[in-house]
Amino acid sequence: MNNHWSEYWEQGHLTSFGDSFTDNYTGVLKNVWKPIFEGLPNDYKFLDLATGNGALPLLASDYLREKSIRGEGVGVDLAKISTDLSTVNIADNITISLNSEVDCTSLPFNESEFDLVVSQFGIEYADLEIAIPEALRVLKVDGKLSFVMHHEHSMVITRNRKIHVLINNQQVDVFFDAIIKLIEKMGPINTKHDFIRVKSEQACKRLRQELQLSIDALVKADEEALQDSELLTYLSTLFNQGIFWSVDKKRDYIEFAKLQILTLRNRLEELIFAAKTQQNIAQILVSISNLGAYLDSVKTLYSENDEIIGWHIVVTKIHNSSECS
């Protein structure tokens, strides 16, 4: 799993589902986390599980910048984290560290080490029967877990499910095959004369028509998902910026695009699988009650447009599991 997520975080994303939903959820989630971080004591230490590129620790830095308390935020992720903290304006009163290749089902921390353990669209990718007890193990007594998790009916899951269906359409293979055949038939394009030749050749015209038919079929299947998939962005790049590339470079670029779509398919499968149903949440709550903790709140988060964003669960630790009878 972590290889394609490592590549994803290297691209600079701050969420596990891309950046196209930012305007719809950012304000709501900021309102969720502000009271959580502002409840930290002086000399606090908090842990962010499946931190991605460190969005929550960096958000905490912004919230706590003007506060009189000091402390430490630690982010961990199974994937390789690409954020260069030396380039980020971190508040003077917080120390942040981001640690790659850390499995949240086997944390390298002591029992009762953290005042707060958080996760935003991350911990649900793990086996929660192991990850939640492990999160509680490293949490101090009276400390809190605060998890925002994917909801099966959220706008993020709904939209990404459509993208997943689209990129599994057999017309995607037809789309790429047509591009490869067109590249081969066009041959090298180095001059304006070459460009004119390609536009007039009947064989190239037939291949362009074949390519257009595949695009039309994908548009008919789901035009919005086609735009979100970036298939047309790859095509545009090839025949605009890349029109005078060598045949080999064009071929390599399409192989790269196919790999990106495959990687997207893998990420979306994991994203969709990670989304929690109401029954899943009920099971989590039952397990928490047996782990020396109690539920503070569980709620569905909604956007300003009344669309579901996710689940938010807050839990308080009562005692260490070793003290349970």
d(CA 194, CA 189): 5
Residues 310, 250, single domain; the answer is no
Domain with 210 in it: 157-271
Residues 128, 252, single domain; the answer is no
Q: Quick one: what percent of the chain has pLDDT higher than 70?
A: 90
Residues 107, 214, single domain; the answer is no
Q: Please say if the pLDDT value at position 19 is more than 60.
A: no
What is the DSSP secondary-structure string of 248-261?
A: HHHHHHHHHHHHHH
Q: Please say if the pLDDT value at position 107 is more than 70.
A: yes
Phi-psi region of 313 (alpha: psi -120 to 50; beta: other; left: phi over 0): beta
Residues 93, 202, single domain; the answer is no
Cα 102 from chain centre: 17
- Amino acid, res. 324: C
Q: Are 13 and 53 in contact (CB under 8 A)?
A: yes
| Of the residues 239, 256, 271, the one at which a domain ends | 271
Residues 129, 168, single domain; the answer is no
Q: Are 293 and 318 in contact (CB under 8 A)?
A: yes
Residues 97, 246, single domain; the answer is no
Residues 191, 301, single domain; the answer is no
pLDDT of residue 81: 87
What CATH number is given to the structural domain containing 6?
Answer: 3.40.50.150
| Of the residues 256, 271, 286, the one at which a domain ends | 271
How many structural domains comprise the chain? 2
pLDDT of residue 18: 52
Give the three-state DSSP class for 111. coil
Q: Please say if the pLDDT value at position 76 is more than 60.
A: yes
What would the mean pLDDT of 239-248 be, rounded to a whole number? 94
Residues 284, 259, single domain; the answer is no
Residues 164, 258, single domain; the answer is yes
Residues 37, 142, single domain; the answer is yes
Residues 144, 282, single domain; the answer is yes
Output the average pLDDT for the chain: 90
Tell me: the pLDDT tens digits for 116-126? 999 999 999 99
Tell me: the pLDDT tens digits for 284-295? 999 998 899 999
Tell me: the pLDDT tens digits for 141-178? 999 999 999 999 999 999 999 999 999 999 999 999 99
Residues 148, 33, single domain; the answer is yes
* Selection from 309, 313, 261, 263 nearest residue 287 by Cα: 313
| Helical segments of the chain, H only | 2-10, 22-38, 55-64, 128-138, 155-167, 170-186, 192-200, 202-229, 231-239, 247-274, 278-289
